[in-house]
């Protein structure tokens, strides 16, 4: 799906992924996840004592950054732990303009159970996003930035050779690993201090990144004997 966004004066754009609102097992204090030796996998859980604390921090991070009229691109795995959490989480977010790229845990949204797609401005499997920005002077041409938005990391993507940036989620990389060797990044909250990331920060990070296909990151889904 191709989509163009024209940012209005004062309007900001943010990206996020893998919020997993309501996901008990990703919350360290209440997780039932076990590794092969029976210990909780600290690096794959979030440091909260209760699910309520984790959910509150997710909501606070979004609402502190993303205003009501701003735009939020969410790259999948919106919520967890029951169909009702989709509506509960959405109602706690003040931003009116959320575009969702489906993750592997968004099956209720993908099937549009109870019409939940209506909670979002758009719902797509993958998104080619054109972001149009006005310069200060009306005489200057508008600036257009192009992103490929996918829930999953991919090794090569459309117009990579022209500098198109890939933003993905799924792998829950920590901050020191979220950036790939090319123009790609994991935008999940686990690698961004539980907060969304702004367009300006993404562009700043990517400015000096080379055009290069990716060696895909290690993935916690590869060897997991847990629910």
- Tens of pLDDT along 194-216? 999 999 999 999 999 999 877 76
Strand partners, 185: 167, 179
Confidence of residue 119 (pLDDT cuts 50, 70, 90): very high
Q: Parallel, antiparallel, or unpaired for β 126-133 and 143-150?
A: antiparallel
pLDDT of 142? 77
pLDDT at 227 over 50: no
Which CATH code of 3.60.21.10, 1.20.210.10, 1.10.10.10, 3.30.465.10 fits the domain covering 2-206? 3.60.21.10
Task: Measure the CA–CA gap between 37 and 34, rounded to whole angstroms.
Answer: 8
The residues, ordered by sequence, that sit 6+ positions from 192 with a Cβ below 8 Å of its Cβ are 16, 175, 178
Residue matched to tokens 């005489």: 139
Candidate from 84-98, 131-145, 203-217 with smallest mean pLDDT: 131-145
How many angstroms from the chain centroid is the CA of residue 220? 17
Confidence of residue 133 (pLDDT cuts 50, 70, 90): confident
Task: Measure the CA–CA gap between 179 and 191, rounded to whole angstroms.
Answer: 9
* High-pLDDT (> 70) share of the chain, %: 87
| DSSP 8-state class, residue 197 | E
pLDDT of 73? 98
25-39, 87-101, 149-163: which is most confident: 87-101
Task: Measure the CA–CA gap between 52 and 159, rounded to whole angstroms.
Answer: 42
Task: Write down the domain spans for the chain.
Answer: 2-206
pLDDT of 219? 66
- pLDDT averaged over every residue in the chain: 90
Residue matched to tokens 């797509």: 124
Which secondary structure element, helix H or strand E, spans residue 56, and what is its range? helix 51-65
- Tens of pLDDT along 149-188? 999 999 999 999 999 999 999 999 989 989 988 999 999 9
SS3 per-residue string spanning 126-190: EEEEEEEECCCCCCCCCEEEEEEEECCCCCCCCCHHHCCEEEECCCCCCHHHCECCCCEEECEHH
Task: Measure the CA–CA gap between 6 and 1, rounded to whole angstroms.
Answer: 17
pLDDT of 143? 86
Confidence of residue 39 (pLDDT cuts 50, 70, 90): low
pLDDT at 140 over 90: no
């Amino acid at each position: 799906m191709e989509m163009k966004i024209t940012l209005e004066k004062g309007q900001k754009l943010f990206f996020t992924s893998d919020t997993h609102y309501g996901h008990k097992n990703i919350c360290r204090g209440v997780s039932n996840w076990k590794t092969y030796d029976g210990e909780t996998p600290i690096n794959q859980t979030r440091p909260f004592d209760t699910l309520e604390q984790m959910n509150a921090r997710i909501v606070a991070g979004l609402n502190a950054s993303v205003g009501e009229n701003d735009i939020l691109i969410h790259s999948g795995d919106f919520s967890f732990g029951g169909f009702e959490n989709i509506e509960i989480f959405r109602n706690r977010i003040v931003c009116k303009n959320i575009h969702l790229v489906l993750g592997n845990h968004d099956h209720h949204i993908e099937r549009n159970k109870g019409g939940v797609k209506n909670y979002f401005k758009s719902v797509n499997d993958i998104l080619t996003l054109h972001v149009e920005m006005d310069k200060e002077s009306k005489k200057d041409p508008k600036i257009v930035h192009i992103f490929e938005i996918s829930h999953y990391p991919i090794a090569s993507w459309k117009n990579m050779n022209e500098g198109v940036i890939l933003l993905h989620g799924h792998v829950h990389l920590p901050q020191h690993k979220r950036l790939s060797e090319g123009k790609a990044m994991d935008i999940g909250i686990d690698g961004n201090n539980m907060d969304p990331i702004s367009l300006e920060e993404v562009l700043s990070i990517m400015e000096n990144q080379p055009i290069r296909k990716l060696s895909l990151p290690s993935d916690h889904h590869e060897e997991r004997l847990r629910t």
